[in-house]
Amino acid sequence: MEENYRLPLLGEKIPSFEAQTTHGVMKFPEQFRGKWLVLFSHPADFTPVCTTEFVAFQKRFDEFRKLNAELVGLSIDQVFSHIKWVEWIKDNLETEIKFPVIADDTGRIAKMLGMLHPSKGTNTVRAVFIIDPKGVLRAMLYYPQELGRNMDEILRMVKGFQVSDANGVAIPANWPENELVGDRVIVPPASDEKTAKARLKDKSIECYDWWLCHRKVKV
């Protein structure tokens, strides 16, 4: 009997599962408790765009680690294919892939997380799941097979979530290079008149108006 899966929603805990990876059997998300997790799928091993993505992720591996974030890849290829592919990348592109890659050859995990789209056949789409230290899904990104991802944006998202969580603020567009407030962050709008008036007198906060205020935070 086929299992029924529902696409996880933002704010929910990611489903628990065990998987074979290039680093051995791993338990998700339990094994990453206390860390941020960037779980991403790619259509297939030994494909051009996916290869450029793996190199790009690895080039930023240390930056993710500095943010207490781990990278984990996934596709429906077998673990033997993953091992050979990462060996090829090391030998031919001089880049050692240090993060694990899940071998989801049955497609069970891909179905569970909505990584298989009917119009794309049996290959996983380019999905990205950003999961916080409590195992809660904070963001989902989906890219078509023909478009490679921007890893700097994924790195920016992890940084943004951490700044938001630590300071109770919102992150503006293109942060930390926003067109209106630069590297400052958005203060949530006041919910009553007293707070709105007090905010206009707060020297640590700058406002265009009472509902559009921003301030500096330590990153």
Q: Which of 47, 43, 37 is nearest to 68 (CA)?
A: 37
pLDDT of residue 5: 62
Same domain, 136 and 186: no
Distances (CA, A) of 116 to 1, 121, 134: 19, 8, 26
In a domain? residue 3: no
Q: What burial letters (b/e) apply to 27-64, b meaning 16+ CB within 10 Å?
A: ebbeebeeebbbbbbbbbbeeebbbebbebbbeebeeb
- Domain count along the chain: 2
- Kindly report, residue by residue over 106-137, the tens digit of the pLDDT: 889 988 888 887 655 567 889 999 999 999 99
**pLDDT per position as a tens digit, 54-67:** 999 999 999 999 99
pTM above 0.85, yes or no: yes
Q: Which residues contact 110 (CB under 8 A, 6 or more apart)?
A: 41, 74, 76, 104, 116, 124
State residue 154's pLDDT score: 98
Between CA 91 and CA 101 the distance in angstroms is 18
Catalytic residues: 50
Last residue of a domain, one of 116, 149, 182: 149
Instruction: Identify the pLDDT of residue 1.
Output: 38
**Cα–Cα dist 84/86, whole Å:** 6
Average pLDDT (131-155) is 95
For residue 40, what are the domain limits? Answer: 17-149
Residue 135, Ramachandran bin (φ over 0: left; ψ between -120 and 50: alpha; else beta) = left
Same domain? For 129 and 210 the reply is no
Nearest to 23 by CA among 15, 33, 14, 32: 32
Q: Within a domain: residue 145?
A: yes
Q: How high is the pLDDT of residue 218?
A: 87
| SS3 category, 190 | coil
Which residues are within 8 A (CB) of 106 and not within 5 positions of it... i.e. 6 or more apart?
76
Task: Return d(Cα 90, Cα 187) in angstroms, integer.
Answer: 45
